[in-house]
Amino acid sequence: MNEIRPIRAKSGTNQEGASAHNRRVMIDALRLNGQLSRADLARATALTKQAVSNIIEELENDGLVASLAAVRKGRGQPSTPYRLVPEGAFAIGLQIDRHVTRTIAVDLVGTVLARKEANLPAGGPAKGVETILALIAETRRELEAIAPKSKDRLVGLGVAIPGPFGIEADQDDPWMMAAWQSFPLLDALSIGTSLDVRLQNDAAAAATAEKLVGAAHGVDHALCIYLGYGLGAGLILNGELYRGANGNAGEIGMILSRPPGGADADRAPLEHRASIASLCKILDLDPADPELYGRIDAAAGAPEARVATWVADIAFELRAAIQILETVFDPQTIILCGGMPRGLARRLLDALHPLLPSIAERRGRSAPRLQLGFTDPWAVAIGAAAEPISRTFDPRFSAILKTRAVGAA
């Protein structure tokens, strides 16, 4: 008797009017498992064989799914596995940071096909948008040269900038990017690109990248701690990114921290101490330096006392933040990611252990409490590009709940 391998998938519904949700469930199952037969898909998604056959046919006709050579298992009839077609859809991601902007183009399975980078000019958002639109146009031309189908299969533009959004901030505050917050960015990008444009903060984008092609792939409950210029967290709850009422969920960098031995008057946002910006200040580095990444990598790899002190200080802070996040959200794992060299990230990960006792400390774990994710300057741009793919193709249980509510009425 052949052993039935476990298949990762969300459940579909056989109720009337839920075909869009079921299409997303099937695409998600194929992304998670690589290739599956119709029988596999029916078993994993709890859909009828007829529903699976109908959806597979639709997805094939739409150029999103392709069949592979039939496989014979045992004495039964051969089965035909199906896989996603990478060229079935494309998306572009845009990261806007304090001093630099990056664009990335990906296909349906998250493969990076083109990437561009430029320094933002002086003059604020009005001048910056000109640079950004030119960079996006250049990225699209390169993408179309690589994948001609992308011209008609581009599902959107994802944008990531530092948060929090919609709060009062000093225009000169380097942490807030207040000028960009008040600028009609989405309108300018939508008009300039003719694409569907959505916005998320950089930590949420990093979590989206981990969900599509990183350490959170196939994980329903994960938290991503993003350490870049600032500090934030992306929350993946029940397989979906949780944004909060105003898009500010996970803004842990705004938690008020107090230095050891300090008074309440010394409290400041946590990211003022735990961030690449704080490390730049300690090492007297210019955050706008195009060679910043290499300079930090060199300092982290040398016997540099200032780096060691910084690592120890923020490890003290982040241990407490991790324990709180585990207690509040009960995740399967927490992922440390961000725009920092991997050597520095590994050094910080080691310094964070042993973690503080929490409800996550239990036997039989299938994933570590804390692990490394993407640690490079392009992590946020990858997540920004993943967002239109996720928005278009990932299951949304809120949508099926609305369908049920209508049916019940």
What pLDDT does 53 receive? 94
Read off the pLDDT of residues 316-346 as tens digits, 9 standing for 90 and up: 999 999 999 999 999 999 999 998 889 999 9
Read off the pLDDT of residues 53-68 as tens digits, 9 standing for 90 and up: 999 999 999 999 999 9
H or E element in which residue 119 lies: strand 112-119
Asked whether residue 400 is assigned to any structural domain, the reply reads no
406, two tokens:
């209508």
Indicate the DSSP class of residue 79: B
Sheet holding 81-84, edge to edge: 35-37, 81-84, 65-67
Q: Answer yes or no: are the C-beta atoms of 163 and 232 closer than 8 Å.
A: yes
Read off the pLDDT of residues 349-385 as tens digits, 9 standing for 90 and up: 999 999 999 999 988 888 999 999 999 889 899 999 9
* Residue 341 domain boundaries: 218-376
Phi, psi angles (nearest 5°) of residue 14: -95, 10
For residue 354, whether the previous peptide bond is cis, meaning omega lies within 30 degrees of 0, is yes
What pLDDT does 406 receive? 36
Report residues of the chain scoring pLDDT below 70. 1-6, 8-18, 74-76, 169-176, 259-265, 396-409
What pLDDT does 99 receive? 85
What pLDDT does 268 receive? 87
Asked whether residue 406 is assigned to any structural domain, the reply reads no
> Cα–Cα distance between 5 and 353 in angstroms, integer?
35
> Cα–Cα distance between 33 and 69 in angstroms, integer?
17
> Cα–Cα distance between 182 and 46 in angstroms, integer?
46
Do 283 and 345 share a domain, yes or no?
yes
What pLDDT does 291 receive? 87
Kindly provide the b/e burial profile for residues 101-130, where b requires at least 16 CB atoms within 10 angstroms of the residue's own CB.
bbbbbbbbbbeebbbbeeebeeeebeebbe
3-class DSSP assignment, residue 261 = coil
Question: What's the pTM?
Answer: 0.85
Do 101 and 178 share a domain, yes or no?
yes
CA distances from 185 to 15, 18, 94, 194, 227 (A): 40, 35, 12, 14, 24
Phi, psi angles (nearest 5°) of residue 190: -65, -45
Asked whether residue 307 is assigned to any structural domain, the reply reads yes
Do 229 and 361 share a domain, yes or no?
yes
Phi, psi angles (nearest 5°) of residue 201: -80, 165
What pLDDT does 174 receive? 61
> Cα–Cα distance between 42 and 359 in angstroms, integer?
36
Indicate the residue among 51, 84, 117 that finishes a domain: 84
What CATH number is given to the structural domain containing 302? 3.30.420.40
What pLDDT does 2 receive? 45
* Residue 123, Ramachandran bin (φ over 0: left; ψ between -120 and 50: alpha; else beta): left
Number of domains forming the structure of the chain: 3
Do 26 and 110 share a domain, yes or no?
no
Which residues on adjacent β-strands are paired with residue 117?
A: 102
Asked whether residue 136 is assigned to any structural domain, the reply reads yes
Asked whether residue 253 is assigned to any structural domain, the reply reads yes
Average pLDDT, the chain: 87
Indicate the residue among 84, 112, 131 that finishes a domain: 84
